[in-house]
Structure 1
Amino acid sequence: MSVSDSLRYADLAGEYRSDRGSVVDEFYVPALSVSRSYDRAVGYFTSSVLAVIGAGVDEFVRRGGVMRIIASPYLLPEDVAEIEAGYELRSVLEKAAIRDLERAIEDSRAARGLGKLGNLVAEGRLDFKLAYVTSGNRVGMYHEKIGVFRDDRDLVAFKGSANETLSGLIGNFESIEVFRSWDERGRERALRISRHFDDLWADRTTTLRVIPFTDAAKKIVERSHQMAAELGDSELVDYNGAPVTITSESKVGILTIPAELQVREYQKQAVGRWFAMSGRGILRMATGTGKTLTALSAGAQVAKMLHKTGEPLLTVVVAPYQHLVDQWAKDIEWFGVSPVRAYESTASWFGRASHLLDSLALGTSQGGVVITTNKTFGDTAFQNILSRYSGRLLLIADEAHNLGAKHISSKLPENAEFRLGLSATPERWFDDEGTAALTDYFGDVVFEMGIGEAIKAGALCRYTYTPVIVELDAEETELYVEITEKIARIFAAQQGSERADEDSALGALLRKRSNLLGHARAKLPALRKEIEKRRGDWHQLLYCAEGRHPLSYEAGAPEEPAQIDQALDLVGNQLQMPAARYTAETKRVERRQVLERFANNKLQVVASMRCLDEGVDVPAARTAYLLASSTNPRQFIQRRGRVLRQSPGKSVADIVDFIVVPPEDVAEMRDNTERGMVARELARVTEFAHLAENEAETLDILRPLRIRYGLLDI
């Protein structure tokens, strides 16, 4: 053995830390390139790490090196559930490990890395084993991190914080201690770590189980080896499929404002004000004014700024629903980036997101975007992967008001240097604490553009507004009084400090009262009259109340059909107008088809509940019927905005709003309750009427009500 082939002369230090140099370049590559064997026991091992230590691996393979790897597979929540349900432990662990390898070879860099091991596996010179901690039917992960390099005479053992992943080796701050067998001070530790690994490999470690995995992995490694050969050394592609070179100048993944995009002056002003607040703040912009494009323009400017200094940027977009994630993805692709869409099963996105973080750490990408739903964002898997990232981070929150809820506001990443909240109505309804949590995290509102300004600027179209007054029946009136009195008692007891969260008593009562108003039985006959006036018109939206009438839940009460079912029966069957529903239960493919048919004059009416409230683009809509009479400003502002979007041939929209009031002759309702109910309805009506083309006509319709209840001041 020559001196150049010896660990003893590889100039290895006793400690490596990320702040003092490169663990990869100064330790892994030189040690691997002169070794005859490499043993590694680690929490996580990914084949993509071989793209980093590639030179050392190539030499190691050429020299006929032997490798043994012990690792824990990454278990998804569904894997843990299977184990707890009694599924065979070994089969679940193997399935998880195979999934990791399958996902890895979706990336050409990882396929090359795994392919480098193909000859070793084929010749029996590489073995994988899986380690786990077990107690009953509960499984824990093996997180120890030790390794041993050997040449023909000496060994070098090490232990420390780094996992065998790209982010573990170069993306995070890591440290390892190195013990050399020829150094008297480290000899005992080096030999002890070597014995520990041998005990692990032989499954002799108490509380730990180690099982073979090479046979299960063999087919995947062989397939990777073939793929690597087909790709060749000259072709390296990024996650978007474009050829790249691993240099700090790569622009892969950077958001770029499209040349054909005409950014409006107010959008430029919004971005400028956000930058003036050091990249933090909330944009309060009316629905339809282009919040998405404004946010992506801001993200593009941040990415451009960081690229000049060679710093990558990860952008995370959080949106309420899956269809909004898909909508964002189209705009992000227009800005030149293929985003990772994180929703549904973790297995469908976790690998791509992990590889994106690895590529940012490696430098093959200077940026990347992950879009996720509120639900997935709050889940453990997404939080875990986000916690791995220590670089520059931009968080964009679409409909940011949703993130003020207790269960999710605590999960917003504190390491996000840039924070941008988007909402037409950032204030949370009956939740001052949640509103404060939003501004504490994102910052104050830095730019505002209301509907009135947007109409004047030509960003939204003009509209007419028609309030239709309907009365509660006697049963509904009695229930309304009962609910309102309970709400008043909570406010009195809590002195107004009660939060209206979904799981609070106040929140439940407010929803029940809103649901009662939304389901008022007199609305369906009134709706028929209004739709008959527009029977020949296309592009009509119908907003229905969720669930069923609250009185149908009462003991012994007959079950009433859902309002949306009654409305579709009225429109589709009785009036013979082409109609379809668009709800949370509608599959995503069907949703797209519904919107396409609506835009192409194949559907006259689309009936929805909450699903069209936030963010969905339906610019062709010309008429909106608001059956669900929520007093929450956010809901009626969102619904108005849906129908005000600009569209070719559309100059004026029509909004028909069903206003619920108590019957004139009812005696059971107390004066204050009755007056308060009408006042809440009139507040919304006044807001709508103020900017309508027919404001004077609308106020005339409501004047008798104002006089009856002494509400002329509203």
Structure 2
Amino acid sequence: MTTNQPGLRSLSLADRYRSDKEDVVATFYRPSFTVATRYSRAVGYFTSTSLALFARGIEAFSARGGVMRLVASPHFNEDDLIDIERGYDVRAVVERATLRELDSEQRETVLDGLGLVGRLVAEGALDIKLAFVQQDDWIGIYHEKIGIFRDDDGDLVAFTGSSNETFGGLVANFESIEVYRGWEAVDGRRALRLEEDFEALWSDKTTRLSVVPFPEVARDRLISLGNERGERTLPPRDDALRPPVVVTDGPARLAVPSNITVRGYQRDAVEAWLRQQGRGMLKMATGTGKTKTALIAATQLANVLRQREQPLVLLVLAPLQHLVDQWITEVEEFGVRPVAVYESSQKWLPVVEDQLNEARLGQRPVVVIVATNASYIGDKFQSVLSRITQPLLVVADEAHNLGSSTYRAALPQNATYRLALSATPERWFDEDGTDALIDYFGPIAFELGLGKAIEMGALTRYLYMPRLVELNAIETSLYSDLTTEIAKRITAGDDLKAADPSSPLGFLLRQRAGVLGHAEGKLAALRADLARRSDAWFQLVYCAEGRRPTEAGQPPGPNQLRDAMHLVGNELHLAAHSYISETARAERKVLLRRFGSGTDLQVLVAMRCLDEGVDIPDARTGYLLASSSNPRQFIQRRGRLLRRAEGKDRAEIFDYLAVPPAGAPLNFEVERNLLIRELERANEFAKLSENYETTLEVLRPLKERYQLMDM
């Protein structure tokens, strides 16, 4: 039925609108809203601020009885995606994400807009659904952008293009849309096809997409907010879709959180790095706050660049996914939501591209990307890196890992600023890799050793208790055979001090370390030490990898981790849980939270984990059943225990050193040289402990036996 009111056909609509030629809002959106009665819109993102802007766009439209349907993609964070992949109910996760987004914005103008949205929803003028890509093993972002206007005459205008319906999408960005008028022969077919696409979307009949109603609890929250805001209306504006400046998604900037006190040595480290023109390494003891120091440096750099009207692209490289997660938490405290780059590129690539485009156009002062080493060397991410022309800062966490030929070859040469973080930047038995890292990042700009860190109170004091455990008869036999083979390799010219881990000598040394690490007597010693601390919390046990070595032809021996768990949980009845590389990320977070509560888990039993970067400052007692002679590993493990925490004034480290019994048939000189490597670790632990004299007495018999009293 035709009305007397002008409709869409009365408008002089172009078939294309582009930011270089016209104001898309003034020439297309606003005129269409003045005559249309139904509006269907599918866009990429749902945020609290963009939803408030929708209210501005349809306020006058709804006052004339107009009705709008909106489909947008929920903003999932990494925890949401993990929960979905682990089988959690998708609708429950969508509800959680939606409520989190609604609660994230407390500005008055945005709350006013959300209140109006609530009233429109309550009145039936606005209906919202959420869409996302759902495959068997991953969740993706719904990124399509289409819109349909209808009027009371039945005329149709459909459009598609690059803009989101936000201030940034419609006004600030450079955008374009293609428009199809339903009454035109060629346009009509395309307009109807877009409308059919939307209707299929709205009805959840689109392959690969899941479209769910706006969560009821979030809907109630909006309506409640509408009631709370009463009849307050948004200030009248000529341009309904252009919000006041205060309403827009203000570009996030890095800022040092108010609850952080920048320590003197952190300030010194940042200044030293800046004096080297933003290049170099920070060699700081584990637990002294390298992550925060790096972010303070990035904040300082971003402030300088902002004065030059330049953005900063910050790329953080971390060896493992759980370290990426920790960095994301830290960066968010500095005021910026970073993009996590690991797993499927479909999760992160569109977001990275969007943010880099905004930085290129001057609309985003800081882009922060946190990637695993494995993801950053991938072709897709390397392609993104190669196209960055803005100032780029690369921060490498545990930078020694990047010294391999594969990783260092992929380091971006277009990075103006470079910062390497590591307590031990020198690579073990790899001078070439160490030199390559120094060539790329620059020399050490600042160094803070463990002794100095303890002295100034950045790390806690500790007691070191070495425990000498004798090998049993079978272990001694295995150990003796391996020592004989090692002696042959040395006689043949192999260098013990520079043995490549992948060489024949390196293999024999690993076998020997396996016998020592899995020594059966260590469990009895551990039992005695744990039993004396059965009421204590915050205890870590580090186990040897693999299984106990056995004689040729015999099946592998028991797994030390399993034996330790049985000892701790079943025999001593302590609340304990394993923490291994196969433990899922989401479960790791839960375990660390339970451990840190001081009321749930007393002991974490670890294998191949709890080394690099894991932040567990509450840990007070560590039991090292096995630790390699690689200095990096035992320095990392000691660092886990020396982080400061409330109520923690001292840590305890038990180190179980397996030794052959006196009189064992061994090549004395070879065994002496091998033992030097073991005692170097013990000396490193002991010299900075509070009970150095006691440790000397414990180790004295062994040093006397092998004529090592000068160590």
For residues 169-568 of structure 1, the aligned pairs below 5 Å read 175-179=175-179, 190-200=187-197, 209=206, 216-217=213-214, 223=220, 226-230=223-227, 232=229, 246=246, 255-258=255-258, 261=261, 263-277=262-276, 279=278, 281-302=280-301, 305=304, 399=398, 421-427=420-426, 445-460=444-459, 467-476=466-475, 514-526=513-525, 543-546=541-544, 549-551=547-549, 556=555, 559=558, 562-565=562-565, 568=568
Aligned to 2:678: 681
Q: What is the CA-CA distance between 1:29 and the residue it aligns to?
A: 4.4
Instruction: Give distance in 2, aligned partners of 1:393 and 1:433.
Output: 26
Amino acid at match of 1:16: R
Q: What is the CA-CA distance between 1:268 and the residue it aligns to?
A: 0.9
Amino acid at match of 2:684: E
Residues 579 and 72 of structure 1, relative CA distance in 2, 3 Å threshold: closer
Instruction: Give distance in 2, aligned partners of 1:431 and 1:158.
Output: 59
Aligned to 1:629: 627
CA contact 1:312–1:366 (8 Å) conserved in 2: yes
- Unaligned runs of 5+ residues in structure 1 are 237-243
Residues 455 and 125 of structure 1, relative CA distance in 2, 3 Å threshold: closer
CA contact 1:72–1:131 (8 Å) conserved in 2: yes
Residues 322 and 538 of structure 1, relative CA distance in 2, 3 Å threshold: farther
Instruction: Give distance in 1, aligned partners of 2:467 and 2:134.
Output: 66
CA contact 1:84–1:138 (8 Å) conserved in 2: yes
Aligned to 1:240: none
- Unaligned runs of 5+ residues in structure 2 are 236-243
CA contact 1:146–1:157 (8 Å) conserved in 2: yes
Q: What is the CA-CA distance between 1:641 and the residue it aligns to?
A: 3.2
CA contact 2:68–2:127 (8 Å) conserved in 1: yes
Q: What is the CA-CA distance between 1:451 and the residue it aligns to?
A: 1.6
Q: Greater shift after overlay, 20-29 or 518-527?
A: 20-29
Instruction: Give distance in 2, aligned partners of 1:296 and 1:541.
Output: 30
The yes-or-no answer on 1:58 pairing with 2:56 is no
Amino acid at match of 1:284: K
Residues 598 and 153 of structure 1, relative CA distance in 2, 3 Å threshold: closer
Aligned to 2:30: 30
The equivalent position to 1:16 in structure 2, one of 18, 40, 59, is 18
TM-score by length of 2: 0.64
For residues 108-119 of structure 1, the aligned pairs below 5 Å read 112=113, 116=117, 119=120
Q: What SS does the corresponding residue of 1:446 show, helix, strand or coil? A: strand
Amino acid at match of 2:517: G
Q: Greater shift after overlay, 680-689 or 475-484?
A: 475-484
Residues 93 and 190 of structure 1, relative CA distance in 2, 3 Å threshold: farther
What whole-Å deviation, never above 9, does each CA across 1:126-161 have from its counterpart, x for those lacking one? 697979999x99999987655455677987654444
Q: What is the CA-CA distance between 1:635 and the residue it aligns to?
A: 2.0
Q: What SS does the corresponding residue of 1:551 show, helix, strand or coil? A: coil
Amino acid at match of 2:191: S
For residues 592-671 of structure 1, the aligned pairs below 5 Å read 592=593, 594-595=595-596, 597=598, 613=611, 614-618=613-617, 621=620, 625-644=623-642, 655-663=653-661, 665-667=663-665
CA contact 1:47–1:113 (8 Å) conserved in 2: no
Q: Greater shift after overlay, 335-344 or 103-112?
A: 335-344
Q: What SS does the corresponding residue of 2:246 show, helix, strand or coil? A: coil
TM-score by length of 1: 0.63
- How much is the aligned-residue C-alpha RMSD, in angstroms? 7.1
Q: What is the CA-CA distance between 1:681 and the residue it aligns to?
A: 1.4
Q: What SS does the corresponding residue of 1:660 show, helix, strand or coil? A: strand
Q: What is the CA-CA distance between 1:226 and the residue it aligns to?
A: 1.1
Instruction: Give distance in 2, aligned partners of 1:117 and 1:312.
Output: 37
For residues 56-205 of structure 1, the aligned pairs below 5 Å read 56-65=57-66, 67=68, 105-107=102-104, 112=113, 116=117, 119=120, 145-149=145-149, 158-162=159-163, 175-179=175-179, 190-200=187-197
Instruction: Give distance in 2, aligned partners of 1:646 and 1:129.
Output: 44
Instruction: Give distance in 1, aligned partners of 2:43 and 2:549.
Output: 56
Instruction: Give distance in 1, aligned partners of 2:682 and 2:376.
Output: 36
CA contact 1:246–1:364 (8 Å) conserved in 2: no
Residues 30 and 637 of structure 1, relative CA distance in 2, 3 Å threshold: same
Q: What SS does the corresponding residue of 2:274 show, helix, strand or coil? A: helix
Residues 499 and 99 of structure 1, relative CA distance in 2, 3 Å threshold: farther
Instruction: Give distance in 2, aligned partners of 1:253 and 1:158.
Output: 34
Amino acid at match of 1:682: L
Instruction: Give distance in 1, aligned partners of 2:694 and 2:627.
Output: 21
Instruction: Give distance in 1, aligned partners of 2:233 and 2:555.
Output: 75
Residues 96 and 648 of structure 1, relative CA distance in 2, 3 Å threshold: closer
The yes-or-no answer on 1:46 pairing with 2:46 is yes
Q: What SS does the corresponding residue of 1:46 show, helix, strand or coil? A: coil
Amino acid at match of 2:18: Y
Instruction: Give distance in 2, aligned partners of 1:249 and 1:83.
Output: 28
The percentage of aligned residue pairs carrying the same residue is 35
Instruction: Give distance in 1, aligned partners of 2:605 and 2:287.
Output: 20
What whole-Å deviation, never above 9, does each CA across 1:325-353 have from its counterpart, x for those lacking one? 998899889x675979989999xx99xx9
CA contact 1:393–1:415 (8 Å) conserved in 2: yes
Instruction: Give distance in 2, aligned partners of 1:168 and 1:569.
Output: 57
How many pairs align? 666
Residues 537 and 210 of structure 1, relative CA distance in 2, 3 Å threshold: closer
CA contact 1:583–1:609 (8 Å) conserved in 2: yes
Q: What is the CA-CA distance between 1:630 and the residue it aligns to?
A: 1.9
Amino acid at match of 1:637: I
CA contact 1:115–1:221 (8 Å) conserved in 2: no
Aligned to 2:238: none
Residues 630 and 226 of structure 1, relative CA distance in 2, 3 Å threshold: same
Instruction: Give distance in 2, aligned partners of 1:304 and 1:470.
Output: 56
Instruction: Give distance in 2, aligned partners of 1:512 and 1:498.
Output: 14
Amino acid at match of 2:450: I
Q: What is the CA-CA distance between 1:523 and the residue it aligns to?
A: 2.7
Instruction: Give distance in 1, aligned partners of 2:571 and 2:128.
Output: 67
Amino acid at match of 1:283: L
